[in-house]
Amino acid sequence: MLRILVTGGAGFLGSHLCERLVKDGHDVICLDNFFTSQKTNVTHLLDYPNFELIRHDITVPVFLEVDQIYNLACPAAPGHYQFNPIKTIKTSVLGSINMLGLAKRCGGRILQASTSEVYGDPEVHPQPESYRGSVSPIGIRACYDEGKRVAETLFMDYHRYNNVDVRIVRIFNTYGPRMHPFDGRVVSNFIRQALAGEPITIFGEGTQTRSFCYRDDLIEGIIRLMNCEDGFIGPANIGNQDEYTIRELAEKVIEISGSKSTLTTEPLPADDPTRRQPDITLAKKHLNWSPTTDLATGLAKTIEWFRTINLDDYRPPTPNYK
C-alpha cells in the first residue's frame, strides 16, 4: 500500500484516478480547490478508510507525507483557463514548484499531467514526443499551453539537478462519464445539445481534427507510466490514435443519442489547433499500453451517463464556458 496524493483529485480525470487507486488498496489523499470540479465526483469515496479529501489550492505550499504524487490540478477547458489566465499559469508554475518541493522532501515519485496543447497548432502530424511544438506565447491559450510547457521544464530540472523521481504524461483529448456538462469541451457540449434537441454548435467548418481517448484507457496509461521501472520517465503521449473531424464527432453523437439536432456553425476561436493526433509509439514500447475503447463504445457510455444526471445540479464553473 502506497500513500498517494492526487492534486485536482475531484476533477473529471482526478476523481476516476482516486477511485481506481482507492480500490487498488492505496492510501489516497485527494486535494482540490473545487474551482472547476465537483465534490459529488468523490463523495462516494468518503466512506472508504483509505481515502481523504482536502480543500486546498496548490499555488500555496502543503505539507504531507506521501510516496507518490499525481499532479493533475489545473483548469483544462479553454473557457475555464481563459477565465483567469494569470491564475491558470500560477497553477501550472507555482503549483509544480510546490509539488516538486514536496516530492523532493518526501523522496517520492511525482507525475505531471501535461497536455497535447504543448504541441500548439502542430506542423508535424501525428505528434511524437520529440516534436517541440508551435505555440504562440502571447495568444489567448498561452496561459495554459505555456504554463504546461514551463511545468515540464521544472519537472526535468528538478529531476536533473535535485534527483527528483519524475514522470511526464501528455494527455490528449479525453472524455467519459463524470465530465462536467458545462466544461466547454467539444464532447460534453455536443452531448448536452443533442440530448436537449438543440442545434449542435461547430466552430469553423468542422474540418479540424481531434483524437478522443476514453477515460478508463487514459487512467490505465498514466498509472502504468507512474509505476514504470525500466528507466522511462517520459514525456509520454497518452491518447487514442483514431482521428476524427469535429463534424464527424457531431454526427456520431447525433446518431448514437438518437437526437434530431441539426448542425450550426460559428467562427473558429483564435489559436485553435487544426489537427491533433498522438504518436503513441513510446507508450506501446515502454508501458505496453494502447487504448482499447473505440469512439462509438465510449460515446454510448458517456451519453448514457449524461441521461442520468440533472443539469440543474451543475453550474457553469465560470461565465466563459460555451
Bridge-based pairing state of the strands 236-238 and 165-171: parallel
List Cβ neighbours of 169 (8 Å cut-off, separation of 6 or more): 111, 112, 113, 114, 221, 222, 225, 234, 235, 236, 238
Which residue bears the cell 498509472?
A: 223
Q: Which of 70, 119, 144, 158 is catalytic?
A: 144
Q: Are 270 and 139 in contact (CB under 8 A)?
A: yes
Q: Are 295 and 252 in contact (CB under 8 A)?
A: yes
State the Cα–Cα distance between residues 234 and 169, nearest whole angstrom: 6
| Amino acid found at 211 | S
State the Cα–Cα distance between residues 118 and 129, nearest whole angstrom: 10
Please say if 144 is a catalytic residue. yes
DSSP H or E stretch at residue 220: helix 215-226
Q: Three-state DSSP class for 140?
A: coil
Q: Which of 109, 95, 103, 104 is nearest to 7 (CA)?
A: 95
Q: Alpha helix (H) ranges present in the chain?
A: 12-23, 78-81, 85-106, 142-162, 186-196, 215-226, 246-257, 281-287, 295-308
Torsion of CA 16, 22, 26, 27, to 10 degrees: 100
Cell numbers at residue 187, please?
464532447
Residues recognised as catalytic: 144
